[in-house]
Structure 1
């Protein structure tokens, strides 16, 4: 491990940019996605290398675990093989975030295909086996898995639908929340919506703000599954899903509960805070369409000069939303709002707010605006859960969120 003096406290990778993505598997340790040694070994292999070194190290780790899984399966060790395929999927998924962008890098597609191939094998090795599903949606199909609760596959049980945000996939949701929910007795539905996973990577379908249309199709499908209690269907979203889930609840009233981690009701507000940092006058009230070309050019230059901002806005933001430039991106973001729909959320709703998460800056205001039964859970640095989506203490998040859901749905 490098002794780079610029490394932040608790940083494993030499590059802070790489550390942001490289530590995702740490959050998945309780769910069997990795162990600490897996991540440390990859960080050692990357050293002070570039994005290609980061990609290669994670893919190499995934390849080694997949090869071990195949050997174990051949030797009849089905349980151990399933565990290694899980770890392989996790490693592949961690490899490609730094190379996000359009046109899609062939390496991203190669790792994603390996990730989902390993996960498909995991599902096939489950007891009982779980098959991939396709949810009809606007002439297409959303890729999905409906995973039955642990040991209760034949029972009619509550269903927890998990929705992602900007930059994660079905496997991330499985590790982050799915395993914990399955152990609690919930059936779990994982899916890729527009702008997510295969829908974006393979089909080029961009993200959209009207998530109520997406979830209506998902709930339509769920109600056809005999083991799903259609009166106890809950929706949980993390990261940008903290907007998408309550947005869906504002229009899809078959939901019995909604969780937003963190609670967000206007994505443009986050962008306005960014504009304020860059010195845009009256950034908190400015209409994006009113920004002149000179201001946009200055903003674009600042974004391009900062690796983190460039990744968030150009590599991820433009690609995920289908925007061609900064003006288009801002215009699209303006549509991601709940401010005119918040009163339409009727089901019990849980909002979370982590202490150091900038996306939780408006959660309290959102909470106050809700007129439905509501709960706000705060997470702190002192608990080891103060960062965005409580990423390195998902166990604490899942305990509290699922306790709330148990009580809300009377899910015994």
Structure 2
């Protein structure tokens, strides 16, 4: 496959952004000009380049808006939003950088200016979580011309470890709206604006978060007569990618979830270190007593000095896990697992249909220790109700989170959801 950068990290993130072009999240010429100016492994170069592209797209959006060109304004505002989201992405490990919050807020503003120009409808929601903290969410309803007969199924789309609900809109929600699904996206602890505004760390028992989201969603629909007539609360599915794939499986243990799409998840987050640290050191930490906590800080510091990707990943992990040293990061990662103290495993609690995927060229986890193990542990999901897809070709879904192959992913995922939720559809041509 063609490469834009020598480093795997920058090349992957560039391809990730390019993947949103079919859904108005980018323009090919703008992308090519930008990657031609970015210095590989240089975070500031990445940031300043995408901010420059943001400003260009914003100017085009305002110009189209003034001219009354709805479609052009929408596309340009979406691009401006996505470019600015991508710009601050490389700053994520440095949570004290004021640009992270301000750029994120502006990216959301541009996203909203675009989203209200879609044919589908979108509503901003705030989901009560803990104390005064509310989780930001969007409820998408398809245009009447795209709706299915009867009530609409609802897809709950959870964010992952480094994405935002604005970014994931270009994947499952856009495809879902074309197919007549309603969609609820949200950001939980350790994600998006919840992390940026409140520094609230992610929690491994994501089923608790999903439970609160479902409680709110059902009450919200019940309280709105139009939505009560429109949304089928007995047909709710959940989806997520990478870290979000793990989180979606945790959420799928809730009996109100009737189907789950888990894209390239891990079985245990601590396994992700296997591509970053020598195996004997991972085993030593797992066994305990090998070295003082400060020793692990020194070792991680060396790895960060040697590798840009490790630097970014570890800084981000400190932030969204709510820790300040390497040993605590490792311990926190160990808690994000489907293993349980009683040996039964968490996944035995999942009983709804599950589509789980893997990627041969994933950045983090080999399918043999993630996808296959998850599939085998879904012991209470009948064989005919669970599906495994391990993509072997980079151009056909073999990259992490199916980057570069989102349309292939959504085609397969919604075929599974349609079957699991009893939806039949056919193509009819106008006479």
Asked whether the two chains share a fold, i.e. TM above 0.5, the reply is yes
User: Paired residue for 1:347?
Assistant: 352
Q: Which segment is superposed worse, 26-35 or 127-136?
A: 127-136
User: Paired residue for 1:388?
Assistant: 400
Equivalent residues of 1:268, 1:334 under 8 A apart = yes
Q: CA deviation at 1:406?
A: 0.8
User: Paired residue for 2:176?
Assistant: 181
Question: Matched residues in 2 for 1:235 and 1:48: separation?
Answer: 36
Question: Matched residues in 1 for 2:18 and 2:109: separation?
Answer: 22
Alignment of 1:363 with 2:371, yes or no, is: yes
Question: Matched residues in 1 for 2:143 and 2:391: separation?
Answer: 28
User: Paired residue for 1:239?
Assistant: 242
User: Paired residue for 2:308?
Assistant: 307
Q: Which segment is superposed worse, 291-300 or 255-264?
A: 291-300
Equivalent residues of 2:121, 2:141 under 8 A apart = no
Question: Matched residues in 2 for 1:319 and 1:49: separation?
Answer: 21
User: Paired residue for 2:336?
Assistant: 336
User: Paired residue for 2:30?
Assistant: 38
CA 1:201–1:256 in structure 2 vs 1: closer, same or farther (change >3 Å)? Answer: same
Question: Matched residues in 1 for 2:399 and 2:41: separation?
Answer: 26
Alignment of 1:54 with 2:46, yes or no, is: yes
Deviation track 1:8-67 (CA, whole Å, cap 9, x = no partner) reads: x62224655433322222111222211322211111232468322211111111121122
TM-score computed with the length of structure 1 as normaliser: 0.90
Equivalent residues of 1:288, 1:330 under 8 A apart = no
User: Paired residue for 1:249?
Assistant: 252
Equivalent residues of 1:27, 1:176 under 8 A apart = no
Question: Any idea what SS the aligned residue of 1:222 has?
Answer: helix
Q: CA deviation at 1:258?
A: 0.9
Question: Matched residues in 1 for 2:287 and 2:127: separation?
Answer: 35
**Number of aligned residue pairs:** 399
Q: Which segment is superposed worse, 119-128 or 217-226?
A: 119-128
User: Paired residue for 1:6?
Assistant: none
Q: CA deviation at 1:289?
A: 4.5
Deviation track 1:221-269 (CA, whole Å, cap 9, x = no partner) reads: 222322321111100010101111111222x211001111113332223
Unaligned runs of 5+ in 1: 1-8
User: Paired residue for 1:111?
Assistant: 103
Equivalent residues of 1:288, 1:327 under 8 A apart = no
Equivalent residues of 1:104, 1:201 under 8 A apart = no
CA 1:291–1:319 in structure 2 vs 1: closer, same or farther (change >3 Å)? Answer: farther
Equivalent residues of 1:159, 1:187 under 8 A apart = yes
Q: Which segment is superposed worse, 45-54 or 316-325?
A: 45-54
CA 1:288–1:50 in structure 2 vs 1: closer, same or farther (change >3 Å)? Answer: same
Question: Matched residues in 2 for 1:409 and 1:113: separation?
Answer: 36
Q: CA deviation at 1:286?
A: 5.4
Question: Any idea what SS the aligned residue of 1:84 has?
Answer: helix
Deviation track 1:196-240 (CA, whole Å, cap 9, x = no partner) reads: 110011221111111111111111122232232111110001010
Residue in structure 1 matching 2:212, options 187, 200, 217: 217
Question: Matched residues in 1 for 2:334 and 2:361: separation?
Answer: 24
CA 1:55–1:195 in structure 2 vs 1: closer, same or farther (change >3 Å)? Answer: same
Question: Matched residues in 1 for 2:142 and 2:100: separation?
Answer: 32
Query: Which aligned runs of 4 or more in structure 1 are off by greater than 6 angstroms?
Result: none
Q: CA deviation at 1:297?
A: 4.6
Question: Matched residues in 2 for 1:245 and 1:297: separation?
Answer: 31
Q: CA deviation at 1:128?
A: 5.4
RMSD: 2.2
Question: Matched residues in 2 for 1:325 and 1:353: separation?
Answer: 30
Unaligned runs of 5+ in 2: 222-226, 341-345, 425-431
Question: Matched residues in 1 for 2:411 and 2:267: separation?
Answer: 24
Q: CA deviation at 1:134?
A: 0.5
Q: CA deviation at 1:164?
A: 1.5
User: Paired residue for 2:428?
Assistant: none
CA 1:288–1:253 in structure 2 vs 1: closer, same or farther (change >3 Å)? Answer: farther
Deviation track 1:340-387 (CA, whole Å, cap 9, x = no partner) reads: 311111111111011112323421012111121311012121643211
TM-score computed with the length of structure 2 as normaliser: 0.87
Residue in structure 1 matching 2:186, options 186, 191, 203: 191
Equivalent residues of 1:32, 1:83 under 8 A apart = yes
Q: CA deviation at 1:187?
A: 0.7
Residue in structure 2 matching 1:168, options 163, 168, 174: 163
